[in-house]
Amino acid sequence: MPAVLRLIFLWHQHQPFYKDLVTGEYRLPWVRLHALKDYYGMVKLLDEFPNVHQNFNLVPSLITQLQDYVAGTARDPFLEVAAISAKELTPKDRQFALQYLFQANPTNVIGRYPRYWELREKFREHGYNAEKAEKYFEPQQFTDLQVLSQIAWFDEFFLEDEDVAALVRKERNFSIDDQNFVIAREREFLAKVLPAYAEAAKKGSIEISATPFYHPILPLVCDTNAGPVSSPGLALPQNRFRHPEDAREQLVRALDLHEQVFGMRPQGVWPSEGSVSEEVLAIAHSLGVKWMATDEGVLGRSTGVFFQRDGNGRLPAHLAERLYDVHRFDNGKASMHMVFRDHTISDLIGFVYSGMDPKEAATHLLRNIRDAAQPVLSQGRDAVVSVILDGENAWEYYPKSGREFLRRFYDALQRESGLEAVTVSEAIARHRNPSVLPSLVPGSWINANFNVWIGAPEDNRAWDYLYHAREFYAQHAASASEAQRKLAFEELLIGEGSDWNWWYGPEHHSANDRDFDELYRKHLANVYQALGATAPDYLSQPITGGERRPDFTPQTAYIHPRVAGDKIRYFEWMGAAVYTADHRSSAMHGKQFLLDAVYAGIDGRFVYGRLDFAGELPQAEFDLAVNVESWAGGEAHARRALRLDARVQDGKIAEWKVEGNDESSVMSSDMSDESAKLALGRNFEFRLPLSWLLANPVTGADSSRAPVSQKTPAGVPATSRLKLRFSVCMNRLPVDALPVEGWIELDLLSEAELASAM
């Protein structure tokens, strides 16, 4: 019998617990919005591909919040502000709407709807300052924002609804009836999500796994001293938190809820953030859990190997044999089947394929999976490749939620001979002779340690606050009523969730850092309040530390830098627009950061750009690309677009070219014209003539200082803005870009106008 490649896809569906149990109010709207946009379509899409079996991991804290919305009992201020008649919005409501209703991917969510983009541009013109901008928005503009900010999150399947499609075609000038329709439809759509998963599980096309109820890092809940085991020398909180009984409770509640909602008890668990330890496996074993999954790094640390790949992302044969297998942990006290995710392939879906043509990306993924497993298959052994990743956040970076990419991939997958897309339980049942794993080093899917959640001063302070709240509960629960004890303990379990510490420390950042910080401290304060006490004063003070790195500063003066690339001439770039990468940005972890900052600016004749790398230049060959577009007034499309491509070999530019949006070559490295110039050294720098981008080139007696805002012939709008985006590709795959979303923008003004605008 020929060897078989079994592919495990596990999509992790998760949201933190945003609800304040005391006030009943939701602090953030992401359960509702992602349930509208991602969860239904992800499973419903599989109806078209019956031979593609998959795994979905639904976190109980997500399930209960979704049930709250479906029941109509959720108090969501974000939904409420979208439902109020625009004429009844108070100034505070208007500011709230502007602050939060634009929190979406600007390109693929907002940009899909021209009116929504137009309103965001109006907000941008006022510096994204809600307090300043609200007085400039008319009631009709607010109504359009209220409607479109909801429709933009509708799943592709929901957009096929005839009435919804008609509303999309209307585009603008929505009414209060349209608002009411959208809000009512949201609840109907939300009610479809959980039944869709139950139906798919019942017919066997998916397996649903669980995560501990409030998504805690179980090894740390069992014992915070697990941190230094995988990261020696790690700084620990002042107080040792050790509550394995809480870890058990989080698992029991999760398994019970899944059985109640889906009619079957989960066989497997994706532990929060893939966090495992032998103590956790023993608890799961005692509760009847049959399998758990985590990252290849944990397997490597536990077996003393490092899964080093070659330049094409391939493992040597002896490492491929070790990773692409089903393992069985067995130490005499507990046993557990385990699968380990291929970190590289999983990250391609999360961070790379969104920047590629869907057909090309799907072909690359299938070939990548097949090539990765080939060393095992060629020896006549079955291979099990596990691809595990977030099932919601990545899709904002794909056009139309990545549905074309997924459809093309699933279609190719079910046609591929010798390849089975299976659930984890199916893989275990069909796999012969799983590898025995006698011991396990504690770790998560991130660097096989827990450093994201413990060790940094903010993280440790959060653990100390949790410790004190847990001790207060232990000392005072006996004298409280049953209702008080129940509420206080529930708040403690919520406080044990991993999501709070995800945003503390240096690793991650979002626009809602303050909200997460306040909500965490509110959950802990509720413990004291529920038990009839006053919360400690320190819970009223932020845990989160310094401000984020500023991400954008506009151009303030003309610049005239030499394009050399050999060293950073600070004063030559003074006045340039600057976009600085925030390497903590977004909820996603695992992105490769190569770029640190980009600078751009104009003078009367040229547009200049500079790219600073986050460290040394990559040693491997790579491609640099700069997209530059000129925009006029309120036009919906760029007037002129150029793409600068440069191939870098051995740290030097081997060749480059500039092409127009009509694919006509404007300039290349084999031409003698020096009007364009590129340089690469410590950083990458370039200049391009503005005349290549403007419909009406700059003219004047002194062309070196001619203003770029010359009048144009009647009926032809003047070019008023340039937009730039820098990106890096390796092996023809996009690996990093700045800005991550949108563009760095330059207003085309004369030097005097630029100075006065500041």
Query: What pLDDT score does 418 carry?
Result: 95
**CB-based contact 110:104 (threshold 8 Å):** yes
Least confident piece of the model among 24-33, 453-462, 531-540, 591-600:
591-600
Instruction: Round the average pLDDT of the chain to a whole number and report it.
Output: 89
DSSP H or E run through 559: none
Least confident piece of the model among 306-310, 472-476, 750-754:
750-754
Answer yes or no: is pLDDT of 732 > 70: no
Question: Crossing angle for the helix pair 176-190 and 139-151, nearest 10 degrees?
Answer: 20
Give the model confidence (pLDDT) of 660-711 as tens digits: 876 555 777 666 567 889 999 888 999 999 888 875 433 333 333 334 443 3
The DSSP letter of residue 52 is B
Query: What pLDDT score does 362 carry?
Result: 97
Query: What pLDDT score does 560 carry?
Result: 87
pTM (global) more than 0.85: no
How far apart CA 119 and CA 110 sit, in angstroms, is 10
Average pLDDT for residues 290-303, to the nearest whole number? Answer: 97
Answer yes or no: is pLDDT of 31 > 50: yes
How far apart CA 605 and CA 697 sit, in angstroms, is 9
**CB-based contact 19:68 (threshold 8 Å):** yes
φ, ψ at 686 (rounded to 5°): -155, 165
DSSP per-residue string spanning 29-46: -HHHHHIIIIIHHHHHGG
Give the model confidence (pLDDT) of 50-102 as tens digits: 999 999 999 999 999 999 999 999 999 999 999 999 999 999 999 999 999 99
Query: What pLDDT score does 702 carry?
Result: 34
Q: Nearest CA to 29 among 21, 19, 39, 38? A: 19
Answer yes or no: is pLDDT of 590 > 50: no
Residue with the bigger pLDDT between 365 and 447: it is 365
**CB-based contact 141:112 (threshold 8 Å):** no
How far apart CA 700 and CA 656 sit, in angstroms, is 31
Answer yes or no: is pLDDT of 584 > 60: no
Give the model confidence (pLDDT) of 255-268 as tens digits: 999 999 999 999 99
CB-neighbour burial class of residue 438 (10 A; exposed 0-12, middle 13-18, buried 19+): exposed
Query: What pLDDT score does 393 carry?
Result: 85
The single residue listed with the structure tokens 């700069």 is: 626
Average pLDDT for residues 577-593, to the nearest whole number? Answer: 62
Give the model confidence (pLDDT) of 102-152 as tens digits: 999 999 999 999 999 999 999 999 989 999 999 999 999 999 999 999 999
**Domains present along the chain, CATH in parentheses:** 71-193 (no CATH), 457-540 (1.20.1430.10), 552-757 (2.60.40)
The single residue listed with the structure tokens 């970076």 is: 397
Query: What pLDDT score does 573 carry?
Result: 85
Query: What pLDDT score does 190 carry?
Result: 98
Percent of the chain with pLDDT over 70: 90
Give the model confidence (pLDDT) of 174-207 as tens digits: 999 999 999 999 999 999 999 999 999 999 999 9
**CB-based contact 301:322 (threshold 8 Å):** no
DSSP per-residue string spanning 563-624: ---SS--GGGGTT-EEEE--TTBSS-------EEEEEEEE-SSEEEEEEEESSSPPSS-EEE
**CB-based contact 216:283 (threshold 8 Å):** no
pLDDT-derived band at 400 (thresholds 50, 70, 90) equals: very high
CA distances from 172 to 168, 269, 646 (A): 9, 46, 42
Residue with the bigger pLDDT between 582 and 591: it is 582
Average pLDDT for residues 417-428, to the nearest whole number? Answer: 97
Answer yes or no: is pLDDT of 548 > 60: no
CA distances from 350 to 347, 358, 393, 453, 591 (A): 5, 14, 8, 21, 8
